[in-house]
Amino acid sequence: MSCLFCEIIAGRVPSRKVYEDDQVIAILDIYPATIGHILVLSKKHYPSFVEIDEDLAGHLGLVSKRLAFIQISNLKADGVTMLVQEGIVAGQRAPHFVLHLIPRKADDRLAMTTQGKDISRDELEQGLTEIQKGAKDSAAEDKEPSSTNDTLAEQEKDDDHKNEENEEEEHEDNENEEQDDNNILDVIGELI
């Protein structure tokens, strides 16, 4: 079974493209919840959000932030609902990661709220403990030295080098962001 979103990304299925770069594409939803409802997709096929690598997740966040700002400023939205449906039980309908950006107006009467449940304090604490344990384990995996001979001084030196690289990348990113913002504005301007 082929993936509809992969077909759209490949250009074999038509879409109303809002934004595109080498990693992501943003298109108008053909069944929009509101005017200007955008789907942000990774170009590489990932069935779910939890499978996306961290660099791509960060890039998706940055692109989504820019598009949400444009929805607020150009469509005069009062807010934007960002929605990721992870798994069938959460409403995911296609086996491709999709981030929805839904411009909201105060009077749009779109019911997208969560209803709180009666959960005992013990159950809440159990959930908190499990999440904290997972977060701690995840952080430990990310920060483990590559060999047991690494010293704190070597790690700090490496961190300093990474900070310098990040500063250089930020400068380049700022220049690229200005160009990306202009591209996004041009495309959305044509749609309005």
Can you give the residue ranges of every domain in the chain? Answer: 4-116
107 in Cβ contact with 88 (< 8 Å) = no
What pLDDT score does 121 carry? 87
What pLDDT score does 185 carry? 54
What pLDDT score does 111 carry? 79
State the fold for domain 4-116. Answer: HIT family, subunit A (3.30.428)
What pLDDT score does 151 carry? 36
What pLDDT score does 155 carry? 45
What pLDDT score does 71 carry? 95
What pLDDT score does 74 carry? 94
What pLDDT score does 187 carry? 54
Q: What is the mean pLDDT of each run of 10 residues along the chain (192 residues)?
A: 84 93 94 93 90 93 96 94 82 86 91 77 87 80 45 47 59 57 55 44
81 in Cβ contact with 26 (< 8 Å) = no
Helix (H, G, I), strand (E, B) or coil at 11: coil
d(CA 53, CA 22): 15
> pTM value?
0.68
What Cα–Cα distance (Å) separates residue 5 from each residue in 54, 60, 85, 191?
21, 16, 15, 21
d(CA 188, CA 178): 16
* Amino acid sitting at position 27: I
